[in-house]
Structures are given as C-alpha cells and as structure tokens.
Amino acid sequence: MDALTSPRPPRSAVVVNPVKVPDLDELRRTVTDALTARGWPEPMWLETTVEDPGAGQAAQAVRDGAELVFACGGDGTVMACVTALAGTDVALAVLPAGTGNLLAANLGLGSDLATGLGVVLQGGRRRIDVGVVGDRSFAVMAGMGFDAHMLDATNDTAKKHIGWLAYVAGALRHLRDRPMRVRIALDGRPAFTRRPRTVIVGNVGRLQGGIRLLDEAQPDDGLLDVAVLSPRTLRDWLALGWGVLRRKNTVARMETYTATRVEITSKRAQPRQLDGDLIEPGRNLLITVRPRALLLCVPQPATDPDLAHDAARAADAL
C-alpha cells in the first residue's frame, strides 16, 4: 500500500520557486490550511535557488521522509523535481505558478492553486514515463532547433502579462532561420539525414496553447514520439500549422516516428530545450525513456488517456 492510499495522511514537502510566487506567505497559508483541514501534517518548505532549481530540494525532501512532493513554480522547477523523483515511490504533485506549466496543461492538472490542491486531495495517481537526457529527466518534451530558438526569444515580461501568446512573438523572429543538417538514429535502426527546422521528442503531445502536435503520444506507453518538422517557406509553415490544428493524419512537412532511444546529431551546435526550459546548446541530443518511472498526482477518474478533462472540479474538494 503506497502513501497516497494509506489511511495515514502522507508526509509532504513543497519545493517552491520564490521568483514565480508573488506572495510566499499567502501561498504557505493556503497550502497548509488546505492540507491540515484534511488531517495532513504540515508540509516541509524548501525554496529553489539560482544554482539549484529544485532537484536538490526534492531529493532532500525524500531523505527527510516526504512521501509526496509539491512542485510550485514554472517548467524548470517541475522538471527538476521530476529528475529527483523519477524511479522512486514518492509522488509528484504540480502546483502551477509559472507561465508555461506544460506538464499541468498536458495531464489535466489544473492551472491554478486551488485546482492543483484539489487534485492532490482527491487521491488520484498515475505512473507515467519520463525521458532522460544526460542526468536530467523530463515528462513532456525535448527539442532541438526552432522550438528552443522560440523559447530563447520569448520575453519573460510578455509571458507574465499575456501567457502562452508571448511565444508567438518569439516564434516569428525565427521563422526564416536556416534549417539544420541533422542525422537521426532511432533504436539502433539505420540512421537517416534530414534538413529540419526542429526535431521534437515527446512523452505527451500538446504544446503551449493546447495545440496537439503528437496525436498518438501517450504518457505511459513506454515510447517516445518523434516529430521532424521541415518547413522551408512561410507557406510551408502555414500548411504545417493548419494540418496540426485540424489534426490530420498526414501533415505537410512533418514526419513522425516512435522509439525508445532517439539520437539527434547536428553539424553545428543548436539550441536545445527540455520541458520548455532551455539547456546548453549542443551538437547532439540523446534521449532515452524510463517506462512508468514517475508517480504523479492526477485528477480522478483517470479515464482519458491524456487526463485532459476538466480538472477544475477537483477544486470543490477544498
């Protein structure tokens, strides 16, 4: 019997990025009051730093006996907690506080504090896969090329004021960039070469704004879904975007694959991202999958494969 189904309320910890939270004292009161009202012990509180965006704090929480870790911050905070908790029986609960929150958007975890707490108190949980790049783990997507350029070009102030629409301005800056020259190897099969604008490797399928890029991606199928996007002109971009929005089986200038090991090698260093968070540029991106490695708090009932139903009802639990 795990901690979330045990009659004894679980011990918990909150890993919070103080930069993403306008009022830490109010956050602490809200979370503590919601948990103690249900008979849970007060959570431990651990703040992230510039040097450590959350992995060290989440690991410390596990060592101190936490059975559930709340990640409260943006995509970087969530990814750091995913890295620390993957492979353990400690559950991750997402309390969105940033502007991206790709995991919350993909898995129906809610977009506000009340909904996030309601999801946890309902007791739903699900084991999902994680992708691995070096010593980092991610739960949503990795990418090389245009998508990372877009993230780098997106203004933080704009994200704060207009949310995901800020990424549109970042994207427009790089629509006419030169394509990459890459070699892609999947699961030991013969490698192939392409000249794409970006290569995206997903554990789930939705981008910012709810756009579903990888229609077949499932978070617990033990596979990574790969999209190779190769538009050449503005007309190509428009056709690709229209095809994705209409969820066509075949989308112009986009190839899709599945694999458990994906290696992308470029002739020159390219921008790279994991779960919407930039990592250092590089010529190579090697991604593997750890099946069902992360225990995640999710809405109940977990009947939709993407869990993308309306999680707002969970807030009634508060």
Contacts of 182 (CB under 8 A, 6+ apart): 144, 193, 194, 195, 196, 199, 264, 265, 266, 267
- Token representation of residue 37: 């009202």
Q: Is 196 within 8 Å of 270 (Cβ atoms)? A: no
Contacts of 50 (CB under 8 A, 6+ apart): none
**Does the pLDDT at position 314 exceed 70?**
no
Closest CA to 72 of 135, 9, 19, 132: 19
The model's pTM: 0.85
Comparing 69-78, 151-160, 228-237, 270-279, the range with the smallest average pLDDT is: 151-160
Looking at residue 124, its amino acid is G
- Token representation of residue 199: 């290569």
User: Could you read off the pLDDT of 36-56 as tens digits, one per residue?
Assistant: 999 999 999 999 999 999 999
pLDDT of residue 170: 66
Please, what is the angle between helix 55-63 and helix 75-85, to 10°?
40
Contacts of 302 (CB under 8 A, 6+ apart): 124, 126
C-alpha to C-alpha distance for 135 and 148, rounded to whole angstroms: 19
User: Could you read off the pLDDT of 64-108 as tens digits, one per residue?
Assistant: 999 999 999 888 899 999 999 999 999 999 997 765 577 887 777
pLDDT of residue 99: 58
Q: Which CATH class is domain 12-129+292-317?
A: alpha beta
pLDDT of residue 157: 65
C-alpha to C-alpha distance for 274 and 112, rounded to whole angstroms: 23
Instruction: Note whether 12-129+292-317 and 137-290 share their fold.
Output: no
pLDDT of residue 211: 79
pLDDT of residue 77: 92
Question: Average pLDDT, whole number, for the chain?
Answer: 86
pLDDT of residue 6: 55
Residue 64: CA count within 13 A, CB half-sphere: 16
CATH topology of domain 137-290: Tumour Suppressor Smad4 (2.60.200)
Closest CA to 203 of 218, 181, 186: 218
Between 10 and 6, residue with greater pLDDT: 10
Confidence of residue 195 (pLDDT cuts 50, 70, 90): very high
pLDDT of residue 313: 36
pLDDT of residue 180: 96
**Residue % of the chain over a pLDDT of 70:** 84
**Does the pLDDT at position 287 exceed 60?**
yes
C-alpha to C-alpha distance for 283 and 266, rounded to whole angstroms: 5
Confidence of residue 315 (pLDDT cuts 50, 70, 90): very low
Write the burial class of residue 232 (CB in 10 Å: 0-12 exposed, 13-18 middle, 19+ buried): exposed
- Token representation of residue 120: 């946890």
**Does the pLDDT at position 312 exceed 60?**
no
- Token representation of residue 256: 């899709």
Residues 251-258 have a mean pLDDT of 94
User: Could you read off the pLDDT of 138-174 as tens digits, one per residue?
Assistant: 999 999 999 898 887 776 666 665 565 666 666 667 6
Residue 52: CA count within 13 A, CB half-sphere: 15
Domains of the chain, residue spans: 12-129+292-317, 137-290
Q: Is 219 within 8 Å of 192 (Cβ atoms)? A: no
Residues 246-256 have a mean pLDDT of 87
**Other C-beta atoms lying within 10 Å of the C-beta of residue 163:** 14
